[in-house]
Amino acid sequence: MDPTTILAAGVGTGTILLFAAIGEIFAERSGVLNLGVEGMMLFGAVAGFSATVTTGNPWLGVAVAMLAGGLLSMVHGVMTIHFRADQVVSGLALTFLGTGLARVLGEGLSSAGEIAELPRLTIPGLSEVPVVGPIFFHDQSVLVYVGYLLVPLAWLWIARTRPGLHLRAVGEAPAAADSQGIGVYRTRYGYVFVGGMLAGLAGAAITLAITPGWFGELTVNGRGWIAVGLVIFAQWSPLRAAFGALLFGAIFRLIVDIQGVDFILGFENPFKAGSSALFFLAMLPYLMVILVVVIGSREAVRKRVGAPAALGRPYVRGERGA
Amino acid sequence: MNLRLEPRTDTPRWFPATATIGALVVAFILSGFIIWLVGGDPIRSFTHIMVAAFGSVGVISDTLVKATPLILTGLACSLAFRMHLWNIGAEGQFLLGAWGASAVVLVPILPAGTPAIVVIPVMMLAGAAAGGAWGFIPGILRARLGVSEIITTLMLNYVALFWIQYWVFGPWSEGGFQQTRPFPPEAWLPRLTDLAAAFPVLGGLTVHLGLIFGILAATIMWVALERTRWGYEIRLIGDSPSAARYAGIDIGRKIVVVFVISGALAGLGGMSEVGGVVHKLQDQISPGYGFTAIIIAYLARFGPFRVIVASILFGALILAGREIQPSGVPAMIQGIILFALIGSDVLIRYRIRFDRHLATA
């Protein structure tokens, strides 16, 4: 129960949320809300796991998972971008489809036993820095370090590069972007695909790195939805998403660790393993999502920052957009 | 080559129904193809579903039992969706309804030995109230603070499941098992088989009073939506929120009211399931009724009576799907059906044109 261990483990579980949330930020920044994250994660998780079981190569598993997530996201892309379907319904359908496909493909995989995991790394030097070292750089999965790179890169891409400017233009004012020669449909398909790949990566992070194994539907268990909530809390910024992912990663970890403690601040711990009060503890992350979404929504109103203006709206050339 | 969608101005009356049925056919063909791909036998799977769900009076009755919670949760979703409120939380509201109804018997709120004529209405009220309260939370958060109801309803589903688990593992656990003690007979909803003494032909038919709740609720909802000013306002908000605002409709208030009614309908579904089928509370009372309800609402295009028809179809799928291998097939079929429906929506709303020259224009 020492804070360093919890945070270090929280970084690991948080990475799962981080990949999914940043993927969703990309898709939403282009104006496409994709509620299929949960389904894409589960589909990526099973595809990556299954590929690793077959080939014995977890890196190939990661590639397959990302491809699987990306391909699945294209169903949503075609429906919402070309066919102007309601993004909420299509995203929900994607979650149903991804979950169903994953369960069909995952039949029998839960007994696959030990598989080749992605390597864990300790960074020499950095891991010896007090406090920060043991939390972030000691014996973490290689995907965690990928996450460290992804956060600043995603932020730079969105905020400081020309393609990022185009991305924001397509999400905020697609008609204006179109008139400047930016392909609105092409951009949206691209970022929905990126979102799908990152959701697939998040799935692979579960089955191949953080908690290796395939546990059917429970493998993802709502974390895709938590990632969607985090995007609102993060106000579509990768940096805030990283903070939220770490926070929730730590909470998930704390719930597990607190069960082994006898006393909290001198009082008997009501949440010891086997106690029915544990179920209240299990509610905590989900209630916290509601809380952070409320906070995020309030702050967005106050600071007048908000969702990309065209989020949820199909773009039709020549039609007056709202 | 360029694909262009032209809004239809003259959709024939028969077209939406035909497109919906076409979508179902396409969905089943696609699902069959995937079953075949993973090494199953689609013809056998679908024949099995038909026989296991509609092959005899007994299994038709079982199908209707599975359809009952789907009707009530399907109505809950339809009402909210009609107003463009994304209540994805019917699952949680269903669970809370089951909990509220169980509390009447298990706390106990009514003393043991109270006659059924009192117990059952009180359970209905308790179930609807608990479900309604669970719907109130996302409603008020959306109306007052502008918080996305999609996230809140989804999160509350998980919270509701842990809430039920707390009670069935903890205070209400019977002998350490993850379920409560069985309800006394006066808390059971009457079933057709209860009349077997007088009409032997009804023996073994498990259809219970909950089905009547569903049919009544559908009727009331149809009248309320199509024949009252209140319903007109709901439909107006759904079709054109800005017009509704100009008309002076208090949208925030309507959001809360509709969320509470929606939650109460799903809660009544939970009550009907514990009172009519399970006769105790356990954590696995729902195989995802509240999620299937979303697809049902869409398949029915939010029409209350069509919800009943769609629920019977999905009741059959859930009933017969339990024995189909691989076990994920029914969930996958549900996803494919929803996509096929979205696709058919496109055909209903637009004419699809392929232009050869527009690409260079």
pLDDT values of chain A reduced to their tens digit, one per residue, 322 residues: 678 888 898 999 999 999 999 999 999 999 999 999 999 999 999 999 999 999 999 999 999 999 999 999 999 999 999 889 989 999 999 999 999 999 888 887 877 777 888 888 888 888 888 888 888 998 899 999 999 999 999 999 999 999 999 999 999 999 999 999 999 999 999 999 999 999 999 999 999 998 888 888 888 888 999 999 999 889 899 999 999 999 999 998 888 888 877 777 777 777 777 778 889 999 999 999 999 999 888 887 777 777 888 888 888 887 654 4
Q: What is the pLDDT of residue B360?
A: 46
First to last CA, chain B: 11
Q: Which residues of B touch A99 (CB under 8 A)?
A: 328, 331, 335
Among the partner-chain residues B155, B329, B350, the one whose CB lies closest to the CB of A290 is B155
- CB-facing half-sphere around the CA of A71: CA atoms within 13 A: 11
pLDDT above 50 (res B359): no
For residues B309-328, give the mean pLDDT: 85
Q: Quick check: B334 and A103 CB within 8 A?
A: no
Please state at what angle helix A3-29 crosses helix A162-172, rounded to 10 degrees.
70
- Min distance B328 CA to chain A CA atoms (Å): 5
Q: Quick check: A85 and B345 CB within 8 A?
A: yes
pLDDT above 60 (res B194): yes
Token pair in block for residue B306: 């069509």
Q: Nearest Cα to B97, choosing from B69, B117, B78?
A: B69
The residue among A42, A87, A89 with the most chain B CBs within 10 A of its CB, best to mutate, is A89
The residue among B4, B91, B99, B150 with the most chain A CBs within 10 A of its CB, best to mutate, is B150
CA gap A80, A90 in Å, rounded: 7
In a domain, B229, yes or no: yes
Among the partner-chain residues B151, B331, B346, the one whose CB lies closest to the CB of A83 is B346
If contacts are CB pairs under 8 Å, which of residues 91-150 in chain B contact chain A?
141, 145-148, 150
Contact A138, A122 (CB under 8 A): yes
In a domain, B7, yes or no: no
Q: Is B162 helix (H, G, I), strand (E, B) or coil?
A: helix
Q: Which residues of B touch A284 (CB under 8 A)?
A: none
Token pair in block for residue B125: 């009220």
In a domain, B261, yes or no: yes
Q: What is the pLDDT of residue B356?
A: 64
Q: Quick check: A100 and B330 CB within 8 A?
A: yes
Question: How many CB atoms are closer than 10 A to CB B130?
Answer: 26
**By CA distance, what is A289's nearest residue in B?**
B155
CA gap B173, B171 in Å, rounded: 6
Q: Which residues of A touch B171 (CB under 8 A)?
A: 276
Provide the phi-psi class of B246: left if phi over 0, else alpha when psi is between -120 and 50, else beta. alpha
In a domain, B119, yes or no: yes
Based on the number of CB atoms within 10 Å of its own CB, is B186 exposed (0-12), middle (13-18) or buried (19 or more)? middle
Among the partner-chain residues A96, A103, A293, the one whose CB lies closest to the CB of B152 is A293
CA gap A115, A57 in Å, rounded: 9
Q: Which parts of A56-183 fold into alpha helices (H)?
A: 58-77, 87-105, 132-136, 142-160, 162-172, 174-179
In a domain, B99, yes or no: yes
Q: Where residue B322 falls among pLDDT bands split at 50, 70, 90?
A: confident
pLDDT above 80 (res B325): no
- Token pair 């109460």: residue: B264
Of the listed ranges A28-42, A204-218, B113-127, B208-222, the least confidently predicted one is A204-218
Q: Is B91 helix (H, G, I), strand (E, B) or coil?
A: helix
First to last CA, chain A: 52
Q: Quick check: A277 and B141 CB within 8 A?
A: no
Contact B91, B114 (CB under 8 A): no
In a domain, B118, yes or no: yes
Q: Where residue B280 falls among pLDDT bands split at 50, 70, 90?
A: very high
Token pair in block for residue B117: 């004529």
Count how many domains chain B has.
1
For residues B147-169, give the mean pLDDT: 94
Q: Does residue B3 sit at the A interface (CB-CB below 8 Å)? A: yes
Q: Quick check: A100 and B5 CB within 8 A?
A: no
The 8-class DSSP code of residue B252 comes to H
Q: What is the pLDDT of residue B113?
A: 84
Token pair in block for residue A146: 């990928």
Share of chain B above pLDDT 90, in %: 62
Q: Which residues of B touch A289 (CB under 8 A)?
A: 151, 155
Instruction: For residue A35, give Cα distances in angstroms to A66, A240, B113, B212, B288.
Output: 17, 20, 49, 35, 18
- Min distance B18 CA to chain A CA atoms (Å): 19
In a domain, B22, yes or no: no
Contact B273, B210 (CB under 8 A): yes
**By CA distance, what is B162's nearest residue in A?**
A279
Q: Does residue B222 sit at the A interface (CB-CB below 8 Å)? A: no
Contact A42, A274 (CB under 8 A): no
CA gap A310, A289 in Å, rounded: 24
Token pair in block for residue B309: 């028809």
CA A58 to chain centre: 20
Q: In the beta sheet, which residues pair with residue A141?
A: A120
Q: Which domain holds residue B183?
A: 65-298
- SS percent in chain B: helix, strand, coil, step 5: 70, 5, 25
Q: Which residues of B touch A282 (CB under 8 A)?
A: 162
pLDDT tens-digit series, residues B164-177: 999 999 899 988 78
In a domain, B160, yes or no: yes
Contact B27, B336 (CB under 8 A): yes
Q: Nearest Cα to B279, choosing from B203, B212, B179?
A: B179
Q: Quick check: B328 and A225 CB within 8 A?
A: no
CA gap A171, A28 in Å, rounded: 7
Q: Does residue B26 sit at the A interface (CB-CB below 8 Å)? A: no
Q: Where residue B361 falls among pLDDT bands split at 50, 70, 90?
A: very low
pLDDT above 70 (res B358): no
Q: Which residues of B touch A279 (CB under 8 A)?
A: 162-163, 165-166, 169-170
Q: Quick check: B343 and A83 CB within 8 A?
A: yes
What structural domains does chain A harbor? 3-112+134-303 (1.10.3470)
Contact A96, A39 (CB under 8 A): yes
- Min distance A42 CA to chain B CA atoms (Å): 13
Q: Where residue B2 falls among pLDDT bands split at 50, 70, 90?
A: low
- Helix (H) / strand (E) element for B3: namely strand B2-7
